[in-house]
Structure 1
Amino acid sequence: MTSQRPFDVEYELTRLTQRLRRRSMRIVEQLHPELDYGTYLFFLGICEAPGEVRGADLAESFGVHKSTASRAVSTLVRLGLVEQTPDPLDGRARLLTPAGPALAQLNAARTDVQRRLEELFSGWDADDVAAFTDLLHRYNDAADATLD
């Protein structure tokens, strides 16, 4: 690897990150005009959980203080994006799930993103798409391993 290549990688990752952030911000605006990006990330965490999730579990997975997660959850409930029910195992805790309409909006936005990706990759060879996917997966695994 030449000395310039790491800067090329950083530059391209920055471009990708900025593009993803812009796309996410469009989804945030569609979900609710009062929703901010940080709270949206908590919404995604709730949507991607394999069932109901507790706010404390979100705080742990995001590596933030419970009060931060609590504020985000309160905002999501107030905006009607998340529903909460008492945890039968701990009456003080609440179990969180995405509200049906909000989840439907998110899924519609994700379907639109998938359609755009299919258009973007329409001129690519299937092997190139597979290689790109494999390399992104490899990069993300390596990055995840260094964060822990």
Structure 2
Amino acid sequence: MTNELPAGLDVDVELTRFVRRVRKRTLRHLAEIHPKLDYGNFTFLLAIVDAPDGIRGSELAEDLGVHKSTASRSIATLERLGLVSRVPDPDDGRAQLLVAEPVAVERIEAYRRTTHERLATMLDDWTPDEITSFARSLTRLNDRAENEF
């Protein structure tokens, strides 16, 4: 298998273009989750929402690839905004877990529904086979990226 990308198609540029568009759209809709939420804290909130049983701050920092102090500042902001709280870790009484408040879960779910609807509209002229192939390719790329980056 060759590691050369197709001539005339710059996958990295196209992925970057798409990520920028998604980020721009996300920035326009952050206030629907909370009027004072910024993009950096949004990424932390998503990770906490996606850990319904809770997550330790140190695990969150590691998962997002940031320094513990960066995670600590974002967590404190999310707590002040009423989107996240701390609960005792049932496996270690000395530790605490971060959990999303119900309002945060509800708003993230609404955001994701809207995003899914928007993506479905963008793909409405694709065949089911094209969508399936694209989804499988993205999954494969993401799985590989987890081990490479």
Alignment of 1:11-30 (within 5 A): 11-30=13-32
Q: 2:45 aligns with which of 43, 46, 62?
A: 43
Q: 1:90 aligns with which of 71, 90, 93?
A: 93
Unaligned runs of 5+ in 2: none
Higher share of residues assigned helix: 1
Task: Please give the secondary structure, in 1, of the residue aligned with 2:123.
Answer: helix
Superposed displacement of residue 10, structure 1: 2.2
Task: Please give the secondary structure, in 2, of the residue aligned with 1:141.
Answer: helix
Cα 1:116–1:2, aligned 2, differ >3 Å: closer, same or farther?
closer
- Provide the aligned length of Structure 1 versus Structure 2: 145
- Distance in 1 (alpha carbons) for counterparts of 2:98 and 2:63: 15
Alignment TM-score, normalising by the size of structure 2: 0.86
User: Which amino acid in 1 is paired with 2:75?
Assistant: V
- The CA deviation string for residues 70-126 of structure 1, in whole angstroms up to 9 with x for no partner, is 1111100100111222335233x3221111111101101111111112222221111
User: Which amino acid in 1 is paired with 2:37?
Assistant: L
Task: Please give the secondary structure, in 2, of the residue aligned with 1:83.
Answer: strand
Superposed displacement of residue 50, structure 1: 4.2
Superposed displacement of residue 27, structure 1: 3.4
What is the root-mean-square deviation in Å for CA atoms of aligned residues?
Answer: 1.9
Is 1:27–1:106's contact at 8 Å kept on the other side of the alignment? no
- Distance in 2 (alpha carbons) for counterparts of 1:106 and 1:146: 29
What is the aligned partner in structure 2 of residue 106 from structure 1?
Answer: 108
- Distance in 1 (alpha carbons) for counterparts of 2:109 and 2:11: 31
Alignment TM-score, normalising by the size of structure 1: 0.86
Is 1:47–1:103's contact at 8 Å kept on the other side of the alignment? yes
Between the two proteins, what is the percent identity of the paired residues? 42
- Distance in 2 (alpha carbons) for counterparts of 1:2 and 1:52: 40
Report runs of 4+ in structure 1 exceeding 3 Å deviation.
1-6
Q: Which moved more, 1:28-37 or 1:74-83?
A: 28-37
What is the aligned partner in structure 1 of residue 78 from structure 2?
Answer: 76
User: Which amino acid in 1 is paired with 2:93?
Assistant: D
- Distance in 1 (alpha carbons) for counterparts of 2:97 and 2:121: 38
Cα 1:20–1:2, aligned 2, differ >3 Å: closer, same or farther?
closer
